[in-house]
């Protein structure tokens, strides 16, 4: 049976998703972290296959026609999107595919690959704590911080759409929970796997 699986992570900016993944990386087995594909030129220090997959506009549009994008958009003359090709390759290699995407992205993944998808919403314990963390980063101006806080108020309302909630009070505790969720994701059987198991079980 295939053991490739999808784990979708969502949560407000500042929730610590990347930190938790990095803290748990050695405990969750082989995984592929889904990155976006874009037609814009690489910026200083960016690497193809690490920060983005950089492709030509022609290649991107061919993949649109072939239905190879989970989602895509054109921003300031450049395309950005989530390609399904590396996702499918990783699944074929029995890897856990991790998406760090927003609520709408989670809904799209569910619509296309629900039977092998597990999801977790990662959040600080309170809105006030989220605001504290956003301000402590010292990377955004006041307008951006306020916008992220307002977005978080909307995002938390979608909590019930997710299989698990991970409250990031401390990184170590959140990472332990994340490992459990990641292992559970690998155990989820696709419809195809279930049918094959039943057939095999009845005939042996």
In DSSP notation, 12-50 reads -TTS-HHHHHHHHGGGS-SEEE---EESSPPPTT--BTT
Distance separating the N- and C-terminal Cα atoms of the chain: 16
**Which residue's entry shows tokens 């019930």?**
160
Rounded CA-CA distance 24/83 in Å is: 25
Rounded to the nearest 5 degrees, what angle is found at the Cα of 175, between the Cα atoms of 119 and 2?
Answer: 45
Consecutive H or E run containing 95? none
Average pLDDT over all residues of the chain: 91
pLDDT for 13-66, tens place per residue? 889 998 999 999 999 999 999 998 999 999 888 899 888 999 999 999 999 999
Task: Supply 93's token pair.
Answer: 């290699």
pLDDT for 182-195, tens place per residue? 999 998 888 888 89
Q: Which domains does the chain have, with CATH numbers?
A: 1-30+95-204 (3.40.50.300), 35-93 (3.30.63.10)
Indicate the pTM of the whole model: 0.84
Predicted confidence at residue 77, as pLDDT, reads 87
């Amino acid at each position: 049976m295939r053991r490739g699986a999808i784990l979708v992570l969502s949560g407000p900016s500042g929730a610590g998703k990347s930190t938790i993944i990095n803290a748990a990386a050695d405990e969750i087995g082989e995984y592929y972290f889904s990155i976006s594909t874009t037609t814009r030129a690489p910026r200083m220090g960016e690497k193809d296959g690490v920060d983005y997959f950089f492709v030509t506009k022609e290649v991107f549009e061919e993949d649109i026609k072939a239905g190879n994008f989970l989602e895509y958009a054109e921003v300031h003359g450049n395309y950005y999107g989530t390609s399904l090709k590396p996702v499918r390759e990783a699944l074929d290699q029995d890897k856990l595919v991790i998406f760090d995407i927003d609520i709408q992205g989670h809904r799209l993944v569910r619509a296309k690959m629900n039977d092998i998808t597990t999801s977790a919403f990662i959040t600080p314990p309170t809105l006030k704590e989220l605001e504290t963390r956003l301000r402590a980063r010292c990377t955004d101006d006041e307008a951006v911080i306020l916008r992220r806080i307002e977005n978080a108020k909307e995002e938390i309302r979608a909590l019930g759409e997710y299989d698990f909630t991970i409250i990031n009070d401390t990184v170590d505790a959140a990472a332990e929970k994340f490992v459990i969720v990641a292992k559970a994701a690998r155990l989820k059987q696709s419809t195809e796997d279930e049918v094959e198991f039943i057939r095999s079980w009845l005939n042996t």
